[in-house]
Amino acid sequence: DVKVTQSSRYLVKRTGEKVFLECVQDMDHENMFWYRQDPGLGLRLIYFSYDVKMKEKGDIPEGYSVSREKKERFSLILESASTNQTSMYLCASSFGGVRGYTFGSGTRLTVV
């Protein structure tokens, strides 16, 4: 089974801190994605990547950046955390297309 691992289940950070959310997949998938889940808004795409060292903005990239130095790892960076970035963050990967999305278990981030 494909496994997508997010390094932290719960995080509490202070406003203004730089925050790193890590995601690792073990099936050599080309594509990786970062979403955030908020009540009433569903899953919204922040950034995605189709290859190492490439990245593309999703629907809500403001306040975020990403890094993909290795194929298996896709990091989401909050340059200066704010309270409106309190959310559930979900990483996903896929081999190709949309038929094989696999999600991690999520990181619940609270910014105080």
Q: How far is the CB of 45 from other proteins (least distance, A)?
A: 6
Q: How far is the CB of 26 from other proteins (least distance, A)?
A: 15
50-89 mask for other proteins (x: CB under 8 A)?
x-------x-------------------------------
Does 99 engage in binding with other proteins (CB under 8 A)?
Answer: yes
Name residue 2's beta-bridge partners: none
Q: How far is the CB of 107 from other proteins (least distance, A)?
A: 10
Query: Residue 101 class from Cβ within 10 Å (0-12 exposed, 13-18 middle, 19+ buried)?
Result: middle
Residues 11-50 that bind other proteins (CB under 8 A): 31, 33, 35, 40-45, 48, 50
For residue 39, what are the CA distances in angstroms to 9, 14, 43, 44, 85?
18, 22, 9, 11, 13
- Pair of tokens at residue 89: 């963050």
Q: In this structure, are strands 31-38 and 42-49 parallel, antiparallel, or unpaired?
A: antiparallel
* Residues binding other proteins (CB under 8 A): 4, 9, 31, 33, 35, 40-45, 48, 50, 58, 90, 92, 96-99, 101-106
